[in-house]
């Protein structure tokens, strides 16, 4: 059995090593290709750069990636903050309070998961123009919140159901009201699932392309996905700078997953205990 276990462990390690290499290699290739000249990129596609052109990243940043980057950061932070705040409060109410029509309200909220964003593109376009939000940050933030909020509520409610009610009862006996219980008990204990919801919704907002293309007309308000498409038309012959811009756009999500991977795994695994 010992030999079999060692063989099994070795096979698992080899398998996950290959899997990790398949994921990591394209990212490394992207970062290295952003340091190459056009000639080096085509003649030495899979090798290290002959000359490390760090100026490609600065050129990409100055060409507009910097502005697109900060637009995406602003929209993502505001959208995710609203989603987490509203989602956590709604999930707490649905997981702890009993009231008439609770199940129906939960079904209505979760039915938002069935609506594809593409279906609502034209109605949203007309609605945003009618209320004067077209071509503003609000034209992106409000739809992002609306489409990601049901998922965040579903995720956090499942986790909040696994938190022992005895903790809340003890806090109420000590004089805490529901609001204090939410801020001082539920939120601190729910950090793993909040981090998971922030990562998943943040990744959607950061990479979203369709709404950002249709609802934003001013180039100064464009986010990274649409901005990189416009950058490609400006630098259609300089692939090094284009790839440098792609590497810059991918960096925030990679850093976020590295920093919060433990909370992400804990939140997803614990959130599936109850539903």
What tens digit of pLDDT does each residue of 7-22 get? 888 888 999 899 888 8
Tokens linked to 39: 């000639």
- Spatial CB neighbours of 170, under 8 Å, sequence gap ≥ 6: none
Tell me the CA end-to-end span of the chain in Å, nearest whole number: 38
How many C-beta neighbours within 10 Å does residue 45 have? 10
Q: Residues 49-69: what's their mean pLDDT?
A: 89
The Cα-based distances of 58 to 62, 64, 94, 142 in angstroms read 6, 10, 49, 33
74: exposed, middle or buried (C-beta count within 10 Å: 0-12, 13-18, 19+)?
middle
R_g (Cα) of the chain, nearest Å: 23
Asked whether residue 148 carries a pLDDT value surpassing 80, the answer given is yes
Task: Tell me the whole-structure pTM to 2 decimals.
Answer: 0.86
222 phi-psi bin (left φ>0, alpha ψ -120 to 50, beta other): beta
Tokens linked to 55: 């100026």
Asked whether residue 1 carries a pLDDT value surpassing 70, the answer given is no
Q: Residue 268 has what pLDDT?
A: 66
How many C-beta neighbours within 10 Å does residue 89 have? 16
Q: How confident is the model at residue 271 (pLDDT cuts 50, 70, 90)?
A: low
What tens digit of pLDDT does each residue of 125-140 get? 999 999 999 999 999 9
The Cα-based distances of 111 to 12, 95, 108, 131, 205 in angstroms read 39, 18, 5, 25, 20
Q: Residue 79 has what pLDDT?
A: 96
Q: How confident is the model at residue 275 (pLDDT cuts 50, 70, 90)?
A: very low
The Cα-based distances of 128 to 74, 121, 140, 195, 226 in angstroms read 20, 11, 10, 30, 19
Of all residues in the chain, the percent with pLDDT exceeding 70 is 95
* Residue 51 DSSP one-character state: S
Phi, then psi, of 98 in degrees rounded to 5: -105, 125
SS3 per-residue string spanning 102-129? HHHHHHHHHHHHHCCHHHHHHHHHHHHH
What tens digit of pLDDT does each residue of 96-131 get? 888 888 888 888 888 888 888 888 898 999 999 999
How many C-beta neighbours within 10 Å does residue 210 have? 13
Q: Residues 42-69: what's their mean pLDDT?
A: 88
Q: How confident is the model at residue 69 (pLDDT cuts 50, 70, 90)?
A: very high
Q: Residue 273 has what pLDDT?
A: 47
The SS3 of residue 154 is helix
Residue pair 89/203 in contact (Cβ under 8 Å)? The answer is: no
């Amino acid at each position: 059995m010992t030999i079999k276990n060692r063989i099994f462990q070795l096979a698992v390690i080899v398998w996950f090593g290959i899997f990790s290499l398949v994921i990591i290699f394209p990212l490394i290739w992207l970062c290295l290709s952003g340091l190459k000249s056009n000639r080096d990129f085509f003649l030495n596609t899979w090798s290290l750069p002959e000359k490390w052109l760090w100026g490609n990243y600065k050129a990409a940043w100055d060409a507009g990636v910097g502005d697109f980057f900060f637009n995406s950061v602003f929209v993502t932070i505001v959208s995710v903050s609203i989603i987490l705040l509203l989602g956590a409060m709604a999930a707490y109410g649905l997981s702890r309070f009993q009231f008439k029509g609770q199940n129906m309200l939960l079904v209505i909220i979760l039915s938002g998961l069935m609506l594809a964003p593409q279906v609502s593109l034209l109605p949203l376009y007309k609605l945003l123009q009618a209320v004067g939000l077209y071509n503003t940050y609000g034209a992106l933030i409000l739809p992002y919140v609306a489409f990601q909020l049901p998922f965040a509520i579903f995720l956090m409610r499942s986790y909040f159901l696994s938190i022992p009610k005895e903790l809340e009862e003890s806090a109420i006996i000590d004089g805490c009201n529901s609001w204090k219980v939410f801020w001082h008990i539920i939120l601190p204990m729910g950090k793993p699932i909040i981090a998971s919801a922030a990562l998943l919704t943040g990744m959607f907002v950061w990479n979203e392309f369709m709404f950002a293309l249709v609802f934003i007309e001013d180039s100064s308000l464009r986010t990274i996905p649409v901005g990189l498409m416009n950058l490609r038309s400006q630098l259609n012959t300089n692939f090094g700078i284009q790839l440098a811009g792609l590497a810059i756009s991918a960096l925030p999500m990679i850093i976020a997953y590295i920093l919060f991977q433990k909370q992400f795994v804990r939140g997803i695994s614990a959130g599936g205990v109850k539903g």
